[in-house]
Chains A and B, each alone.
Chain A
Amino acid sequence: LAKTTQPISMDSYEGQEVNITCSHNNIATNDYITWYQQFPSQGPRFIIQGYKTKVTNEVASLFIPADRKSSTLSLPRVSLSDTAVYYCLVGQNYGGATNKLIFGTGTLLAVQP
């Protein structure tokens, strides 16, 4: 399973764009890249998933370079409620195969007023 490396913490202010980068040098051909958000005492919440290039949804954008050895989660105009831990994961997720996502320590994003 590909290991991921991301900053332990980041600080930002309301209204700013936040970019969190994750390294996954050993990503396999079949691996997706998925980002989750977790608030204290709650389960992680799926944010976005991608395989290559750029993916955008109503919450965030995910940028993946051609070599797929890293990815960047971009949160536009953050608010105080975006203060949370953000996890980057890579792995297969096919039912019937060995599908498991291994969580790292994540990045604690603290948004200040």
Chain B
Amino acid sequence: ETGVTQTPRHLVMGMTNKKSLKCEQHLGHNAMYWYKQSAKKPLELMFVYNFKEQTENNSVPSRFSPECPNSSHLFLHLHTLQPEDSALYLCASSARSGLNGYTFGSGTRLTVV
């Protein structure tokens, strides 16, 4: 375990379903992030939260809705996804100081059918 826990590890959902991904960290970090990694592609930054406030939305479609109720928890709500949204979704957190970089979770492998 890295200190950043993501659930579920695997998720299969239909295009009309609504589901949520959860990320939790107890490292004392104040910044949290969502990344998407499609097959054979670089990680794509989706959202950035600093002190619970969203500071970056990297032109992500509205069918992805993030929520950050506190500095330790981050959610990604999913609805009416498309098959091309199938990917590994990674959560990360970091400290304010910038030292020691980001800590990533193990990811949620999402398959949209």
Contacts and interface: CB of A to CB of B under 8 A. Distances in A.
Contacts of A103: 35, 42-45
Contacts, number: 77
Contacts of A98: 48, 55-56
Contact of B94 (A43, A44, A99, A102): A99
B2 A43 contact: yes
B95 interface: yes
B51 A95 contact: yes
Q: Is the interface of B mostly helix, strand, loop or mixed?
A: strand
Given A43-B90, A45-B2, A106-B42, A101 B106 contact: no
Interface bracket on B: 20 to 34
A29 interface: no
Interface in A70-103: 92-103
Interface bracket on A: 20 to 34
B109 interface: yes
Contacts of B80: none
Interface string B69-101: 000000000000000000010111011111111
Contacts of A105: 42
A13 interface: no
Contact of B33 (A36, A42, A100, A104): A100
Q: Is the interface of A mostly helix, strand, loop or mixed?
A: loop
B45 A95 contact: no
A100 B48 contact: yes
Nearest to A44: B104
A41 B31 CA distance: 23
Interface of B: 2, 4, 30-31, 33, 35, 42-45, 48, 50-51, 55-56, 88, 90-92, 94-107, 109
